[in-house]
């Protein structure tokens, strides 16, 4: 059990620093029981180690380190050479959703950090006057006022984001189901 834990902790630390494949994540953490025979054979034949960062080379999507503004992990999508128009539509929909998601959370987090810094400065001045060098932080109770106000002020924005997110994910699920069904009917 400890070996399993150590393997996955190492893999997660690596995920924070580089792009790793989604389909095989890291060869060291793959077990035959969790991978289809065809996928396991492809990984073994190609000698994939999880250190490549080219989806075309490894034939699977890659997840990168968290973005500094949005805190979301960008994905490099694999483009199959025999990609059908439906698969292309599905991939492009996923790319568009990822870009929309990245932009929303980058903007939201930037606003949040700016408003948080302003709130802290104002509260420290109120509490300690102009000399705030000694005290740089506020208590959790004091910060809870900011968190509540931020969420209340952005409630409508977050509701709209959630509605859009559900719509976009539903569309992607429909695309995924159509691609899966077409692949099954074509024997792929």
User: What value does the CA radius of gyration of the chain take, rounded to a whole number of Å?
Assistant: 22
Residue 129 clears pLDDT 80, i.e. is over it: no
Distance (Å, whole) CA 108 – CA 71? 11
Segment 43-59, tens digit of pLDDT: 555 544 444 567 777 77
Tokens encoding 26 = 């890291």
Q: Quote the percentage of the chain above a pLDDT of 70.
A: 69
Confidence band of 185 (pLDDT split at 50, 70, 90): very high
Residues in the chain: 188
Segment 145-160, tens digit of pLDDT: 999 999 999 999 999 9
- What's the pLDDT at 187? 81
- What's the pLDDT at 61? 86
Segment 16-44, tens digit of pLDDT: 556 666 764 443 344 444 445 565 555 55
Confidence band of 179 (pLDDT split at 50, 70, 90): very high
Please state, rounded to an integer, the average pLDDT across all residues of the chain.
80
Using the CB atoms, write b or e for 102-137: b if 16+ within 10 Å.
bebbbebbeebeeeeeebbeebbeeeeeeeeeeeee
SS3 21: strand
Segment 75-120, tens digit of pLDDT: 999 898 999 999 999 999 999 999 999 999 999 999 999 999 999 9
- Stated pTM of the model: 0.70
């Amino acid at each position: 059990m400890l070996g399993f834990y150590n393997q996955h902790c190492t893999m997660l630390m690596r995920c924070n620093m580089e792009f790793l494949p989604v389909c095989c994540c890291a060869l060291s953490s793959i077990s035959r029981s969790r991978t289809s025979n065809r996928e396991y054979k492809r990984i073994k034949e190609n000698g994939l180690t999880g250190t490549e960062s080219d989806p075309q080379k490894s034939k699977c999507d890659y997840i990168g380190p968290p973005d500094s503004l949005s805190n979301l992990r960008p994905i490099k999508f694999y483009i199959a050479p025999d990609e059908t128009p439906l698969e292309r539509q599905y991939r492009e929909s996923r790319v568009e959703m990822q870009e929309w998601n990245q932009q929303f959370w980058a903007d939201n987090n930037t606003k949040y950090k700016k408003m948080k810094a302003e709130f802290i400065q104002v509260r420290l001045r109120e509490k300690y006057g102009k000399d705030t060098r000694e005290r740089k932080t506020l208590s959790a109770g004091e910060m809870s006022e900011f968190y509540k106000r931020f969420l209340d002020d952005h409630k409508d924005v977050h509701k709209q984001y959630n509605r859009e997110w559900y719509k976009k994910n539903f569309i992607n699920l429909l695309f995924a189901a159509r691609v899966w069904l077409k692949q099954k009917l074509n024997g792929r």
